[in-house]
A and B are shown apart, each in its own frame.
Chain A
Amino acid sequence: MLSPDLTVKIAGVVLANPVMPASGCFGYGEEYAPFFDLRRLGAIVVKGTTAEPCAGNPPPRLAETPGGMLNAIGLQNPGAVAAREKISALWQSSVPVIVNVSGHSAAQYRDVIELLDDLAAVAAYEINISCPNVKAGGMAFGTDPAVVAGLVRELRGATKKPLIIKLSPNVTDITAIARAAEEGGADALSLINTLLGMAIDIERRRPVLANLTGGLSGPAIKPVALRMVWQVTSAVEIPVIGMGGISGARDALEFLMAGASAVAIGAANFTNPLVCPETVEGISDYLAEHGFASVKEIVGLAKKEWS
């Protein structure tokens, strides 16, 4: 029997399989290269990159929670100029590189794109309008439909490369934001970023995180993420990369059946460095066992069964 076709197309970019690490959980790939051949990934989404180097938030930046964790890294990254080298090095792996673009103003997002746009290594941009851990920008951009549409339109004029807009779950109606991004000219969407949360140390009688609040990720948020992927894929025509608490092939299959065209894996990399390649294999095995010729056949399948 032929092995199933795992290829998917997102925003015009062909991926060998639908699995990629989520931004901020995989650095620029170098930390996980010792564990497995990065060519086994569908794409690599690199750390949120700002125009200038960014030191990030003071520690403590982490708090473990039931079935997950809070983080408040604060976009620590070497800046777009230093990132060029790291992105080019990743290009050697021949896996499409998606650069997560972060900033505090529309101009800063533009600056990142301008500093990176000539790199053949950059297959697409993921525009981070949903980081909960920076004071201005980030999530502030991602919660107002008019602002989202305006920002996407402006960035659309700055590059010919595909734009993937990363959405925040910290909104009342994520479909309104999704439609605004689509209207502004987004090629695809990715969701969800982390959920805003906090923790208190009762011995020290103060918040655990120096930033007070942080982003919740891990298996605990999967049902929320899945629900939002279902809703958004019903509301827009452009493809969606689903993420939020995926820890293996079974979770990934749920997101694909909910309507995601591809999936990203975040915090689970920390527990299991091999989770991405294992998820690719698990999806392939499922398709083969159930007689599907292509992964595209199961995208949104649960919706068809439901209607």
Chain B
Amino acid sequence: MLKLHKLKIIKQELVAPGYQRLTLAGGIAALAGQFVQVRVSETCDPFLRRPISVHHCTEDRLVLLYRTVGRGTALLAAKKAGETLDLLGPLGSSFPLTDRPSAVVVAGGIGAAPLYCLLQALKQAGKQVSFFYGARNQAELLLRDEYRALVANYSEATDDGSAGTRAVVTQLATPAFASLDATVYACGPSPMLREVARLADYYGRSCFVSLEAQLACGVGACLGCVVPVKGQEQYRRVCVDGPVFAAGEVFFC
């Protein structure tokens, strides 16, 4: 049930330079792919809440994994254990499970954050999962052991070759698209998502992607976060129609 929560911070960890893991007390029954709108300031500056994907959620814990990109996330990173966080959620659509026996999951950078939930759900459903994790360098491959522990096949790609294969992650994943009877899931930068969607389409795999957008309300009222629908002069709201879309449904901005 969508609602306003005030959750106590249990832990705020720096997991890599510029990347934080925030553990909160209290479950919000979020599904894989959903997000929360976090109020980072008590004042009106920054004015808007910050959308952060749910990394991990249990009955009594909510974990957010995020990159410190600007003033809003810096304020969030400065919050300490014991403080209370005002958040709205769970919001948005979730990654659907299909009847395919396998799953190919592609992560780019901090796009890995919401996929952790998905990998857990896929594992629980007994799917054969191949996870392709791409980042600029080794330091930005976050929580590698935790991701590795959830999947049958784990592969890494970095831009500089400091870990895994020196390649873009989609190159590394292409053979899996071709050979597995799999559903494809992805979250990461738009160029990566476009390539994932292209490959999935080429090999006839159903594909779900999670998009990012500047949000204001997060609940579907303001119509600020839209993406264009393919083949129609219409828009969909990333906050409620997404953030997870079937790859063929919308354009990635």
Contacts and interface: CB of A to CB of B under 8 A. Distances in A.
Interface of A: 24-27, 31-32, 34-35, 55-56, 58-69, 71, 73, 76, 218-220, 247, 267, 269-271, 273-274
A99 B44 CA distance: 29
Contacts of B224: 61-62, 71, 73
B106 interface: no
B98 interface: no
A270 B222 contact: yes
Chain B residues touching A, range = 20 to 34
Interface of B is mostly: loop
Interface of B: 1-4, 39, 44-49, 88, 213-228, 233-235, 240, 253
B2 A34 contact: yes
Contacts of A58: 228
Contact of A63 (B2, B214, B221, B234): B214
The 8 closest A-B pairs by CB, nearest first: A62-B224, A31-B221, A270-B217, A219-B44, A27-B221, A270-B216, A31-B219, A31-B220
Contacts of B44: 67-68, 218-220, 247, 271
Given A64-B47, A69-B216, A73-B224, 15 more contacts: A25-B221, A31-B217, A34-B2, A34-B3, A55-B235, A59-B213, A59-B227, A61-B224, A62-B225, A71-B222, A220-B44, A270-B221, A271-B48, A273-B4, A274-B4
Contacts of A35: 2-4
Contact of A64 (B2, B48, B213, B228): B48
Interface of A is mostly: loop
B219 A273 contact: yes
A62 B47 contact: no
Contact of B217 (A34, A68, A220, A269): A269
B3 A56 contact: no
A63 B224 CA distance: 9
Most buried by B among A62, A247, A274: A62
B223 A59 contact: no
A219 B228 contact: no
A56 B226 contact: yes
A271 B49 CA distance: 6
Nearest to A218: B47
Most buried by A among B47, B227, B253: B47
B214 to A, nearest CB: 5
Most buried by B among A34, A69, A71: A69
Contacts of B218: 270
A254 to B, nearest CB: 15
A73 B4 contact: no
Contacts of A64: 46-48, 214
Contacts of B214: 60, 62-64
A61 B219 CA distance: 16
Contacts of B227: 59
A61 B235 CA distance: 12
Contacts of B219: 31-32, 273
A203 to B, nearest CB: 12
